[in-house]
Amino acid sequence: MPRVHLRFFASLRERLGPGEERAVTSGTTAGALWESLVGSHPAIDRVRVRIAVNERYVEPGHELAEGDEVAFFPPVSGG
């Protein structure tokens, strides 16, 4: 079971905290991990989430690997 490090930002950080370690089953995708978070925290369902693995944007189908840092955040609004 790969272990990954989750990080949350902005509105997601306020709801879920800064992050956590989590063991996932092999082959788990970034999108599936997000769905499992939504399952335990229904309030985040409306967030149009962006996902970055190891500081690079990924699509939901991206498979997670041991040691990955998986960041979840809402649409960016810098500037």
Partner 1 sequence: MAELFEITESAIDPARLLAAVGDPAAGASVLFLGTTRNENAGRRVTRLEYEAFASMAVREMRQLARQGRRRWPLRRVAMAHRTGIVPIGDASVGIAVSAPHRAEAFEACHWLIDRLKEIVPIWKKEHFRGGTVWIGAQQGGPEPPRQRRRAGVR
List the alpha helices (DSSP H) in 1-79. Answer: 10-16, 30-40
Given the complex with partner 1, which of 21 and 56 has the nearer CB atom? 56
The angle formed by the CA atoms of residues 65, 40 and 20, to the nearest 5 degrees, is 45
Q: Between 38 and 53, name the residue whose CB sits nearer to partner 1.
A: 53
Q: Which of 2, 10, 32, 38 binds partner 1 (CB under 8 A)?
A: 10
Contact 59, 34 (CB under 8 A): no
Binding mask 48-77 for partner 1 (x = CB under 8 A): x-x-xxxxxxxx--x--------x-xxxxx
